[in-house]
A and B are shown apart, each in its own frame.
Chain A
Amino acid sequence: MSGATVLAAVAQVYTGDTAWMLIATALVLMMTPALGLFYAGLVRSKNTLNTFMMCVAAIAVAMVTWAAIGYSLAFDGDGSLVGGLGNAFLNGVDFAPRTGMTIPELVFFAFQATFCIITVALVSGAVVERMRFGPFLVFAALWSVLVYAVLAHWAFGGGWLQAGGTLDFAGGVPVEMGSGFSALAAALVVGARKDYGRQAMLPHNAMFVLLGAGLLWFGWFGFNGGSGFSTGNASVLAFTNTLLTPACTLIVWFALDLIRGRKVTAIGAATAIVVGCVAITPAGGFISPGWAMLLGALAALPSYAIIVWRTRTRVDETLDVLAAHGLAGFTGILFIGFFAEAAWNGVSDGLFYGNAAQLGHQALAAVAAPAYAFAATFVLLKLIGLVMPLRASEHDEAIGMDVTQHGEEAYVTGEGAILIAPETDAEPELPVPQPA
């Protein structure tokens, strides 16, 4: 490549767009620890650290698999089902922008990496409190490539859905439906917690849940606002819609809580924030602010219904990833088919504006993505289960995953803790009798 072409390529980078995308990337990365907080608050205190650690593990594992192969499979070339290996191990990913973009591909890579990370973390919500940590690491690595990267290629990387005309602004297909329906499969393969349906297993810290939801919402401005890859109109529209939609979801959720239990609940509100953010994720840059508000209101209904119904079943999809992400993403994807408006998005109209075909494209994605996510995750976990046990023993599950998986406790008092001298491996003398 001559020096002139390098200059020409670099010249297409806009500093304003790049600055925003750097910040947006950091915002989305923050969503994963925020999710850790949200999830950790929802579990029992003895599983706090393990639940959070699954999110930390997602950052570690998915970042590496994304750099190694995931990014390439998602974004190298426009193969129908899956991309190529040309960008494996960041080959060719440098300061030059991708075709039609105004930010260095390195930033694009990093931004997309944070999406893969949080999606892996989302799936953990289905299996917390009983899945062993080791098998989860293996699952996270394989799932991020075999499920996430494939779905990302379909929706974002020029795969068959995107080529066929499906609109997905920020990840209704790979992130939301991908995680939600995979979570259902994971819950079915791993099985219910041993006391599920027999004992009440309550959220141990509602403040964590609220704080986590608030931080997720904050991060979601990078998630949706960055998915225009610029500071252009689509990003601005998605950003503002990310404010409007969850607010409307909250109000409807309050109303549903009032009708059902006569009280507005805090954990319900935290859930509603997530549901609203998820619903606007696919639609953010495609629908007007007015329709975004209607979407927020509508999205509350199916997700609320599934959460109420699911707890009466034997399916221990523990933290309701299917309801909050799978179903809300499904609602958002379909909503685009009705209310997309070329006057706002410059791309396509929906059924309501005279383009019925768009609804067809959206419906196709709303069937294909859940089907692939569910089937692939089901088979993947069954196969991992053949090699290593997925679950902790009943004994370990009863004691709690923090002590049995990590050898730590979230709320340790230190009473009765005897320091073991760090320098020696000798058994310390104990002031207490040992069992014979």
Chain B
Amino acid sequence: MKLVIGIVRPEKANDVLESLYRAEVRGVSISRVQGHGGELNRVETYRGTTVQMGLSEKVRFEIAVSDEFVQPTVDALCEGARTGDVGDGKIFVVPLEQAVRIRTGDTDMGAVTPVDK
């Protein structure tokens, strides 16, 4: 089991959801985050106050998957989020100790397998 964390452009979040859906990866959490990953800073001016915006808006995907789903998930994230410019984001894959589905108490593999209804 792995936790796949993808940090992507907000404007590509819908595309990522779409490609995850096509890859049959279900069960994601997303959050809005701000960060810096080496992209060029935007300069903004507010009534004569000029600032460099060091942080960019990003959307963070968190997807817990079984091992054989890691690669399809990473591929889907890349496919959905890539524009080719600096600032497309990062993907981190980290080992996952345990997963529990709260409703049933299912653990691990059972918990990260989506329920088909």
A interface majority secondary structure:
loop
CA distance in complex: A428, B55 (Å): 16
B52 touches A403 (CB 8 A): no
* Number of cross-chain contacts by CB at 8 Å: 67
- Of the stretches B23-31, B39-47, B95-103, B106-114, the one at the interface is B39-47
For B86, the chain A residues whose CB sits under 8 A away are 435
* A 411-427 to B, binary, CB cutoff 8 A, 1 in contact else 0: 01101111110100000
B44 touches A428 (CB 8 A): no
B38: CB under 8 A from chain A? yes
Most buried by B among A407, A409, A417, A431: A417
B104: CB under 8 A from chain A? no
Given A403-B42, A407-B43, CB of A415 within 8 Å of CB of B34: yes
A407 touches B54 (CB 8 A): no
CA distance in complex: A4, B85 (Å): 75
CA distance in complex: A381, B32 (Å): 38
B48 touches A422 (CB 8 A): yes
B45 touches A415 (CB 8 A): no
* B 38-75 to A, binary, CB cutoff 8 A, 1 in contact else 0: 11111111101111111100000000000000000000
CA distance in complex: A195, B48 (Å): 34
A432: CB under 8 A from chain B? yes
B43 touches A420 (CB 8 A): yes
Closest residue of chain B to A427 (Cβ to Cβ) is B52
B38 touches A433 (CB 8 A): yes
Minimum CB–CB distance for A412 against chain B, Å? 7
A94: CB under 8 A from chain B? no
CA distance in complex: A46, B11 (Å): 10
CA distance in complex: A260, B51 (Å): 48
Given A395-B85, A430-B41, A434-B38, CB of A417 within 8 Å of CB of B9: no
CA distance in complex: A409, B53 (Å): 11
Given A432-B36, A435-B40, CB of A420 within 8 Å of CB of B11: no
A207: CB under 8 A from chain B? no
* A 259-293 to B, binary, CB cutoff 8 A, 1 in contact else 0: 00000000000000000000000000000000000
Minimum CB–CB distance for A187 against chain B, Å? 22
Given A399-B11, A407-B45, CB of A430 within 8 Å of CB of B40: no
For A428, the chain B residues whose CB sits under 8 A away are 52
A430 touches B54 (CB 8 A): yes
CA distance in complex: A430, B37 (Å): 13
Minimum CB–CB distance for B68 against chain A, Å? 30
CA distance in complex: A195, B38 (Å): 27
Minimum CB–CB distance for B111 against chain A, Å? 30
A398 touches B38 (CB 8 A): no
For B52, the chain A residues whose CB sits under 8 A away are 417-418, 420, 428, 430
CA distance in complex: A312, B27 (Å): 30
Most buried by B among A403, A413, A418: A418
For A409, the chain B residues whose CB sits under 8 A away are 44
Q: Which 7 A-B residue pairs are closest in the complex by CB-CB distance?
A: A416-B55, A398-B11, A416-B54, A417-B51, A420-B50, A418-B52, A407-B44
Q: Interface on A for B, CB 8 Å cutoff?
A: 46, 195, 199, 395, 398-400, 403, 407-409, 412-413, 415-420, 422, 428, 430-435
